[in-house]
């Protein structure tokens, strides 16, 4: 049986419009990117690598004994950055972990890693339990078929509950991805698609081209750092109110 060598690649771009230089901002004595890297190291992945366009980020990771790869500044997405990074790596399956989630649960990473050798593309979702999240366009919703493959992702509530049925579950997409490296090569070469452009959701590119995305269910609630308010919230959680 083929042994699948797994890796986590964390795309980390220094420039950010909503929160400048967020990857190197301090969270209770450690940078944001360091905290994400350290959480990733708690998983079962064979390797953890940061893919970045900035020397300062490389120096932060190397200072703690980690591995970082310098990639082009021109990439439009984390997937593109990862596709460049894996070209010279001996990996069979990789997890794309967002560089702005310092509270990521290693168990959700392991759930994705467990699909290595079984699927080409995987992601995660959780039940939405309040109306505000359901109607928030910044929280992406997903619906699946009976085999837990994604049918569609949207910023709108889906499905539309025409008859106001009770006990209808809605699911939030959690932005962690797993791909076989062979599929990643294919995926990175696909052109932008119509629905992807409309919703501004890159994962729709796979569905529009006929590829399946296997969804796992988790209780983890994604807490990304996109704004100063997010940063302050995470600092309070990690520092314990200090």
Give the distance between the most distant pair of CA atoms in the chain. Answer: 57
The domains located in the chain, with CATH, are 6-239 (3.90.550.10)
- φ, ψ for residue 30 (rounded to 5)? -135, 150
DSSP label at residue 44? S
**Given pLDDT bands bounded at 50, 70 and 90, which one contains residue 1?**
very low
**How would you class 206 by CB atoms within 10 Å of its CB: exposed for 0-12, middle for 13-18, buried for 19 or more?**
buried
List, in order, residues 6 or more apart from 135 with CB less than 8 Å away.
157
pLDDT at 3: 57
Q: Please state, rounded to an integer, the average pLDDT across all residues of the chain.
A: 92
**Given pLDDT bands bounded at 50, 70 and 90, which one contains residue 2?**
low
Over residues 164-184, the pLDDT tens digits come to 888 899 999 998 999 999 999
Over residues 69-118, the pLDDT tens digits come to 999 888 878 888 898 999 889 999 999 999 999 999 999 999 999 999 99
Among 7-16, 59-68, 86-95, 233-242, the minimum mean pLDDT is found in: 233-242
pLDDT at 41: 97
Instruction: For the chain, give the percent of residues with pLDDT over 90.
Output: 79
Q: Rounded to whole angstroms, how far apart are CA atoms 36 and 101?
A: 6
Over residues 36-57, the pLDDT tens digits come to 999 999 999 999 999 999 999 9
Q: Is the pLDDT score of 242 beyond 70?
A: no
CA distances from 157 to 130, 139, 143 (A): 12, 10, 10
Peptide bond into 103 cis (omega under 30): no
* DSSP H helices in 64-117: 78-85, 106-113
pLDDT at 70: 93
3-class DSSP state of 102: coil
Q: Is the pLDDT score of 124 beyond 70?
A: yes
| Contact call for residues 112 and 99 (beta carbons, < 8 A) | no
* Prediction pTM value: 0.90
Q: How many residues does the chain have?
A: 242
């Amino acid at each position: 049986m083929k042994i699948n060598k797994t890796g986590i690649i964390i795309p980390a771009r220094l420039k950010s419009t909503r929160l400048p230089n967020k990857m190197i901002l301090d969270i209770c004595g450690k940078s944001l990117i360091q905290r994400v890297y350290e959480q990733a190291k708690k998983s079962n992945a064979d390797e953890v690598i940061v893919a970045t366009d900035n020397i300062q980020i490389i120096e932060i990771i190397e200072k703690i004994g980690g591995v970082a790869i310098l990639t082009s500044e021109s990439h439009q997405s984390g997937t593109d950055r990862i596709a460049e990074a894996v070209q010279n790596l001996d990996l069979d399956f990789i997890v794309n972990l967002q560089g702005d989630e310092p509270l990521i649960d290693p168990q959700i990473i392991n759930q994705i890693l467990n699909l290595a050798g079984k699927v080409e593309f995987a992601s995660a979702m959780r039940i939405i339990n309040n109306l505000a999240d359901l109607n928030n366009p910044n929280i992406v919703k997903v619906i699946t078929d009976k085999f837990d493959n994604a049918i569609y992702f949207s910023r709108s509530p889906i499905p539309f509950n025409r008859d106001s049925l009770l006990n209808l579950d809605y699911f939030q997409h959690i932005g962690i991805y797993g791909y076989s490296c062979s599929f990643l090569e294919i995926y990175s070469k696909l052109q932008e698609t119509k629905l992807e452009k409309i919703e501004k959701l890159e994962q729709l590119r796979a569905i529009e081209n006929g590829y399946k995305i296997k969804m796992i269910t988790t209780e983890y609630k994604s807490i990304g750092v996109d704004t100063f308010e997010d940063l302050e919230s995470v600092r309070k959680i990690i520092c314990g109110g200090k």
